Chain A
Amino acid sequence: MTLSTQRSKGWRSKKVQETALVVFVTLLRALLGFAVAVPFFWLISTSLKPENLLFRVPVVWIPRPPMWSNYVEAVQYIPFFTYLKNTLTIAVPATIFTTLSSSFVAYGFSRVKWPGRDIVFMILVSTMMLPYQVTMVPLFVVFKNLGWIDTYKPLVVPTLFGGAFYIFLIRQFLMSLPMDLQDAARIDGCSELRIYWQIMLPLTKPALATTALLTFIGNWNEFLMPLIYINTNSKFPLALGLQQFQRQYGAEWALLMAASTLMTIPIITLFFATQKTFIRGIALTGIKG
């Protein structure tokens, strides 16, 4: 092949290159995808095995027939639906409160210019560095004195005051919106509260959706806080309840996997339903250091 022929076929070789890249990228994706999928496969497969197939070498890949009854047993072995209700009792208000309070505070940090704002904002950002453990013991004492131990209040009430990370997230988003919007409204005599509620809130929907989704997932999965604050079995959320499949030696593996699957499905469904908005929300907030 001479130089000239190569050049004349330039457009084609570029196309070839592009196709090669697509193939290459797709292959790599498939490889990584396989690695990611294997544990999921194992989750489902194990959840459908009778106990005597769990401990067998060579390993049984797909149990035949699948033990669907594991799922029935799993929701009876622990009071699954009670725990599900408990999880929702925490996660739903916590999500609503965090989203609303964080956006409210974020408004104050972005759409109003007041002296000292940036310093206070720095304090807020730096609280993200504070490990939870520093406040863990005194908070326990505070909640104890309030009589809140073994209730959901320690998990829900603090969400009324905004979460530093989400305030930060929504503020970044609000900063990117043009200032004229509210200036016009102010001239019209709108109160700040109304500007926040009627103008800014609808505009921040993607950031709010992201916040809501992240807080909901976070609360759904939260383990340490209920571990510390909830004592009574019947008040456990799912994340804590799952531990009950673990026994003194070993665990009820199949049932545990069945219950884990059940606990994961709602979150996955939620993610599927919202992923477009979610990713856009993150992209728009333009998280940067």
Chain B
Amino acid sequence: MRRSTLRKLAVGLFFIGPWIIGFLGFTLYPMIMSAYYSLTNYNLVNEPQYIGWKNYIRLLQMDPQFKTAISNTMYMVIVGLPIWLFVALVMAVLLNEKGKLTTFFRTLFYLPSVVPTVAASVLWMWVLNPQYGIVNTLLKSMGFSGPGWFTDPTWSKPGLILMGAWATGGTMIIFLAGLQNVPEALYESAELDGAGWWRKLRHITLPILTPTIFFNLIMGMISTFQYFTQAFVISRGAGSNVPPGGPLGSTLFYAIYLYQNAFSYLRMGYAAAMAWLLFIVILVFTLLLFRSSGRWVHYDS
């Protein structure tokens, strides 16, 4: 290696040094340990006991809660996430068009996403209260009878999705930033060709936006697989003695069941095994998305 290369290596490592230390101490070492714990029976107080693959076998073969948690989480990834992305995209496109009160609406649309998740969750518990909530009251005044939302196993997840759509401002801002990168000249030349609003959106805006969509999709998927706080707060709203995940296990998401195993039952080994399975699932999904991206994501350069 040439001396100048060596020097550059030293400078580079000097700058990324903090991250390397953090990575080794707070990521890599814990990863190795959690892989080990996942093969043990460990209650945090006593020493871990090695039990081989038993935790994994038990999870995959005889834990009905685990299955419930997976199907609930998949529901959010497959139904919830696309809805959230769509709402965010619509908001961003609306803000990017010429219209009135842009700053006002931009702030308004973004606002819910800065409301603390805990506060937003309790607020929505009340907004969607079947008897005294504002949504059902509005529905009633229009002649519909609203569902039981968080008290009804079939409506609890749609309720959470609705709440998520309300708070999708963070995603919207990233879309908005992506939209501002679309060169004005492209629109102008399209207008000369007589393209209308819809055609411009379809053939210029969306293709240029695909990398941003892809980014939001990946980040959204990773965080949706770890969906926790909203459901944790809302499902315990029925009472602080109630285990989270109700009604009828309909909001028992993967991260919630994992937390319960770790900190309510002190089944640390079991929780570690769950975490590793989650990591593998996220990895597989990410790889699949990257594979598919060649077909629909356009990079301009």
Contacts and interface: CB of A to CB of B under 8 A. Distances in A.
15 contacts: A18-B98, A25-B98, A36-B111, A112-B12, A113-B8, A116-B9, A133-B226, A134-B275, A135-B34, A139-B30, A192-B11, A242-B122, A249-B238, A260-B116, A289-B215
Interface string A252-289: 01001101100110011001100100110011011111
A223 B233 CA distance: 10
A247 B242 CA distance: 10
A58 to B, nearest CB: 8
B109 A108 contact: no
A223 B211 contact: no
Interface in B189-240: 197, 211-212, 214-215, 218-219, 222, 225-226, 228-229, 232-233, 236-240
A105 B229 contact: no
A123 B219 CA distance: 16
Interface in A162-179: 162, 167
A251 B30 contact: no
Contact of A134 (B30, B115, B122, B228): B30
Contacts of B108: 33, 36-37
B240 A268 contact: no
Contacts of A260: 115-116, 118-119, 122-123
Nearest to B36: A138
Contacts of B299: 288
B78 interface: no
Interface of B: 1, 5, 8-9, 11-19, 21-23, 25-27, 29-31, 33-34, 37, 44, 90-91, 94-95, 97-101, 105-112, 114-119, 122-124, 126-127, 131-135, 137-138, 166, 173-174, 176-178, 180-181, 197, 211-212, 214-215, 218-219, 222, 225-226, 228-229, 232-233, 236-241, 255, 258-259, 262-263, 268, 271-272, 274-276, 278-279, 282-283, 286, 293, 297, 299
A242 B105 CA distance: 29
Contact of B114 (A26, A36, A43, A217): A217
A264 B18 contact: no
Interface of A: 18, 21-22, 25-26, 28-29, 32-33, 35-43, 46, 54-59, 101, 104-105, 107-109, 112-117, 120, 123-124, 127-142, 158, 160-162, 167, 192, 196, 217, 220-221, 223-224, 228, 238-240, 242-243, 245-251, 253, 256-257, 259-260, 263-264, 267-268, 271-272, 275, 278-279, 282-283, 285-289
Given A41-B134, A275-B106, 15 more contacts: A26-B99, A28-B94, A36-B108, A38-B127, A39-B127, A59-B132, A131-B282, A133-B274, A135-B27, A137-B34, A161-B22, A248-B241, A253-B126, A260-B115, A260-B122
